[in-house]
Chain A
């Protein structure tokens, strides 16, 4: 076995049938498994112009090629579909425990076609798949629904099943809804949960026992041991003083030559929430809906009141996703916090994104409010990043008189924790103005009027994450050029520096190691190749089920290339694997073009690139020459420099016409599923 199962489960929700689709090896050899294979399936099966919320859309839930092979930090699962928020390929990625259960049922992807007219869920075990009625769990939040699914399908003495579900957001067809597992860990972005809701699919519950292995299990194990041993070197005992979080104040500038392994120090102790002090102090964190600065608007006292150290005080234990010894997650007891009108107790530790979104970004100094909102959104199955961005737009519109108290129902000021919580709940349940905001800020502008566009910070329909792109041109360019725009989990200057890709990939330029970062503002082939190296690499990571925080450890510690080779035995060099990454990258763009998107659609909101630049703070005076950067990347990717459309010679060199337009019978064989 080469790590993958060689099979997709095609579930026709309209006709309630299940089909095993055997996939030719050459598809895996060219697109890997996971999100790469799913992108190919979506390209082949979603017709041009399909309504993302209609039965023509296809929703793929997939695990990665390396998942369950014995490699570590490779237990992510992904949801791939046509996104309602961007209109192009949608992809959301999640940790937790669900990924191995997909492969244990013998499938690489579960692909949902059509739509059911009544609520259903898919159960699958060694006896095969079966669609079951979900009316009794429809209306429950994602965590409760998951618990109910697991309980009703648990057979005493047998393996306990795992489930993923949508919450209220998905049921309400929100373009900001995601899919959850493990009590609120969420594949959040691009409205994939809304697509699932449109199919009346409440969840999946899996309990298979099929073995999974790679070609060379000893080598996979050897690499995993090395990875675990090295990654552990950077962990620090939890009793280190939280004062460490304040060192950022004394650093003259953002790190130039980091070793990715050192990300483990912060991540292992605080999780991603440890980043807020640094991000706030260094200007990496956008403030006041991208219009303010930490210095002026979110002073150090506020930063100290809301940083990661407060979460550690509530932490009961660390949390590890499947196959991860890194454990950046944690569980908190929030039963005694303010605002907890839902009686939440054990919850997931907020990630940096929610932490900053509901504090510095909205100027809220009430840490308890952030903790409550994070859990509320997790259980609602909503994307905390997009909801935060949309709330930011609403507050700024209110403060500037575009929204009135009569529109909202209450005053909506910066930093008003009660008002923010109220608005978040209205968005989740589509009540009042919340109904207008529930599909994100781009859609809200279409309803409310173009004068709102100035406050609707988004790129290609996606609200950007809490990583300011003005001080980081690589990040700005990645926000713009990826087929899933405005996403931070691909690269950026610091992260590219951590990855050390240039040590393994012959054409990847080294990060700036000495001198200043000024060169990163230049438009050059070298800068574009860095962006593309990160983008292609991410396609590999998503094909094999890897975690972004794993690849930040650097290629010397996180041997994705070597694991993939050990699992498949394909004889690929790292450059060959990057070529596959490039093929998937190009395919995703071709999906968007097929769906009628002009590649310029994802040009970031002017604020995201400093048009005009801020006047105060660490980001002051910075503007990214984004148009020239985008064109340079397109040129280096083999796309038309002006239009962003892949050149025919590029498409042919990647052999894409064969895979995308060749007779489908060449690549698949369909057999009705047992069960």
Chain B
């Protein structure tokens, strides 16, 4: 695979950005999970609410997580290390709607995974 360039991005959460031909692979949490065709690497802020089993280490103080433009719901679930079964069995919402796993996230989206909380 022709590697054109590789560097460590200075942006918040991105450990390594590998540019291969006209594709870019983001190595994120040791996973090559992301492919996109644009030349510009953009990052979106997505608000996330999830259970304490998730990886919150990448979360900003305002409760958002920076993810590369083009990230799908499925990829996002990997980013926050939520077991995929959790998202499938329990409600998993984007902007308070159920959406398909291949939905691409947008800036400002609110992603909510089930976290055990009730009242009474």
Contact = CB atoms under 8 A, between A and B. Distances in A.
Given A236-B90, A267-B118, A274-B118, A256 B112 contact: no
Given A259-B112, A262-B91, A262-B112, A272 B50 contact: no
Interface stretch (B22-30, B32-40, B53-61): B53-61
B49 A263 contact: no
A320 interface: no
A259 B119 contact: no
A254 B52 contact: yes
A288 B62 CA distance: 39
Given A265-B114, A514-B56, A353 B120 contact: yes
A195 B39 CA distance: 73
Given A262-B91, A514-B60, A255 B96 contact: no
B12 interface: no
Interface stretch (A23-31, A133-141, A245-253, A657-665): A245-253
B53 to A, nearest CB: 6
A352 B119 CA distance: 8
Nearest to B63: A513
Contacts of B100: none
A251 B115 CA distance: 10
Interface residues of A, number: 49
B42 to A, nearest CB: 23
B115 to A, nearest CB: 5
Main secondary structure of the interface of A (DSSP, over half): helix
A460 B120 CA distance: 21
B82 interface: no
B88 interface: no
B76 interface: no
A266 B118 contact: yes
A230 interface: yes
Chain B, interface residues (CB within 8 Å), range:
20 to 34
A421 interface: no
Interface in A554-605: 556-557
A118 interface: no
Contact of B50 (A257, A261, A352): A257
B59 A267 contact: no
Contacts of A264: 91
A519 to B, nearest CB: 11
A278 B115 CA distance: 11
- Residue with the greatest number of chain A CB neighbours at <10 A, chosen from B63, B90, B115: B115
Contacts of A278: 116-118
B93 interface: yes
A549 B49 CA distance: 18
B62 A234 contact: no
A275 interface: yes
Contacts of A240: 89
A234 B120 CA distance: 18
B84 to A, nearest CB: 16
- Residue with the greatest number of chain B CB neighbours at <10 A, chosen from A254, A258, A261, A263: A258
Given A233-B93, A259-B49, A266 B63 contact: no
Given A252-B52, A256-B56, A510-B63, A265 B91 contact: yes
A230 B91 CA distance: 12
Contacts of A498: 117
B115 A262 contact: yes
Contacts of B48: 257
B90 A265 contact: yes
B97 interface: yes
A597 B113 CA distance: 46
A505 B89 CA distance: 34
A272 B120 contact: yes
B110 interface: yes
Interface in A491-524: 494-495, 498, 510, 513-514
A256 B119 contact: no
Interface string A269-285: 01111110010000000
A278 B117 CA distance: 8
B91 to A, nearest CB: 5
Interface in A468-505: 494-495, 498
Given A252-B52, A252-B53, A257 B63 contact: yes
Nearest to A250: B53
B53 A267 contact: no
A351 interface: yes
A266 B62 contact: no
A590 B84 CA distance: 53
27 contacts: A235-B91, A236-B91, A248-B116, A255-B115, A257-B49, A257-B56, A258-B115, A259-B49, A260-B117, A261-B93, A261-B96, A262-B112, A263-B118, A263-B119, A265-B91, A266-B116, A272-B120, A274-B118, A278-B116, A278-B117, A278-B118, A351-B120, A352-B118, A352-B119, A352-B120, A466-B120, A552-B119
Given A514-B63, A548-B119, 19 more contacts: A234-B93, A247-B51, A251-B116, A255-B51, A255-B116, A256-B56, A257-B59, A259-B110, A261-B96, A262-B112, A263-B118, A266-B116, A272-B120, A273-B120, A498-B117, A510-B62, A510-B63, A513-B62, A514-B59
Interface of A: 230, 233-236, 240, 244, 247-248, 250-267, 270-275, 278, 351-353, 466, 494-495, 498, 510, 513-514, 548-549, 552, 556-557
Interface of B: 48-53, 56, 59-63, 89-91, 93, 96-98, 110, 112-120
